Amino acid sequence: MQSALSPAGIQASRILDLWHLTLAVCCVVFAAILLACLIAMMRAPRANRATPVDLIVVGQRKPRMRFWVAAATGVSTFLLFGLVLADVLTDRALSRLPVDNALRIEMTGYQWWWQVRYPTDGDAAGFTLANELHVPVGRPVVVSLKAADVIHTFWVPNLHGKKDMIPGRDATIEFRADKAGVYRGQCAEFCGYEHALMAFQVVADAPAQYEEWAARQRQPAIAPPDEIAIRGRDVFMGQDCARCHTVRGTGAQGTIGPDLTHVASRQFIAAGTLANNRGNLAGWIVDPRTLKPGTVMPPTRLPPSDLQALLTWMETLK
């Protein structure tokens, strides 16, 4: 779900209140303008092509008309200043979210995917994943934002507003999910050819469920359970896959592409472009540029038996 009209956190609720106020004011002003136009049309003198032009009214003084124009100008000015004040108060309210005991996450935007890193938290080891954030309901979250190449923008309308990510300049955004659910995020700054296919998900879980998920993510990949999976792992290690991707628990330590240690647990691949299933994963491995033109991942041509073994192994990475 991606909608600013369905807030799942206190900050998104404040933004929605500002939206409702702005919409109400604009609707009232629009209705008043339409009413004024209607009255003017009804009171306008009727004429035809043969009627001579009447220029007498041009030089006439109309105190009553001046009064209404001045009144409308004053009301418009008052409403505009009122909206500016409401905007300032909303901005202050957004910045006052308490961040005691906050969950801290680092997020980096690339063309065209998101790297998500959960740093070490006390005795708990850190871990990295891609295009998906999990957060506990009711706990504030502080996300450190970076851009690796061009300007990106972090935007999860159900939880907060937009935050630009500028190369060489770090930024942060704070939010709190008050309702469990899955909320879609999107890069909201045009960042190149596949800007529209640069999405991510924020999964808000109950605190206990979040801790279970985080504990699983901290673990390395499990050992291949059978011969086909072992062959698939060997195919992965023998191709360029291992030079670009990390799978903790194996010799794959690449950092160019997303961390694949628990890729099978994710709902989507290719930054929200494709559902994470066997068929889409096969198509993505064989020729990703037909599915997401402009991606830097090269095609990987494999014999059918090797491809099936590789898919079997990757499906164990949960």
Residue listed under structure tokens 């020729």: 287
Mean pLDDT of the chain: 91
Is 144 exposed, middle or buried, given 0-12, 13-18 or 19+ CB atoms closer than 10 A? middle
Using one digit for the tens of pLDDT, what is the confidence trace for 61-109? Answer: 777 778 888 888 899 999 999 999 999 999 998 888 888 889 999 999 9
Q: pLDDT by residue (tens digit) across 142-200?
A: 999 999 999 999 999 999 999 999 999 999 999 999 999 999 999 999 999 899 999 99
Q: Which one of 94, 127, 157 terminates a domain?
A: 94
Q: Which residues, in sequence order, are CB contacts of 81 under 8 Å at separation 6+?
A: none
Which of 16-20, 111-115, 119-123, 238-242 is predicted with the least confidence, judged by mean pLDDT?
119-123
The whole-angstrom separation of Cα 294 and Cα 194 is 7
Neighbours of 103 (CB within 10 A): 19
CA angle centred on 48, ends 45 and 53, rounded to 5°: 70
Domain CATH for 249: 2.60.40.420
pLDDT in tens, 214-257: 999 999 999 999 999 999 999 999 988 899 999 999 999 998 99
Examine the pLDDT at 276 and tell me if it is beyond 70.
yes
Domain tally for the chain? 2
Nearest Cα neighbor of 306 from 219, 237, 217 is 237
List the domain range (segments joined by +) for residue 33: 10-45+53-94
**Nearest alpha carbon to residue 207 among 140, 159, 137, 143:** 137
- Residue 222 within a domain: no
The pLDDT of residue 216 is: 93
Q: Write down the pLDDT at residue 121.
A: 76
1 falls in which pLDDT band (50, 70, 90)?
Answer: confident
Strand 141-147 versus strand 103-110 pairing type: parallel
Last residue of a domain, one of 63, 94, 125: 94
Share of the chain above pLDDT 90, in %: 73
Contact between 86 and 126 under an 8 Å Cβ cutoff? The reply is: no
Residue 134 has pLDDT above 70, yes or no: yes
> What pLDDT is attached to residue 96?
86
In a domain, 2, yes or no: no
Last residue of a domain, one of 61, 94, 127: 94
Nearest alpha-carbon partner for 103 in 63, 77, 142 = 142
At residue 53, does pLDDT exceed 90?
Answer: no
Going from the C-alpha of 141 to that of each of 117, 145, 158, 169, the distances in angstroms are 13, 12, 14, 20
Question: What's residue 57's pLDDT?
Answer: 66
Bridge partner list, 181: 204
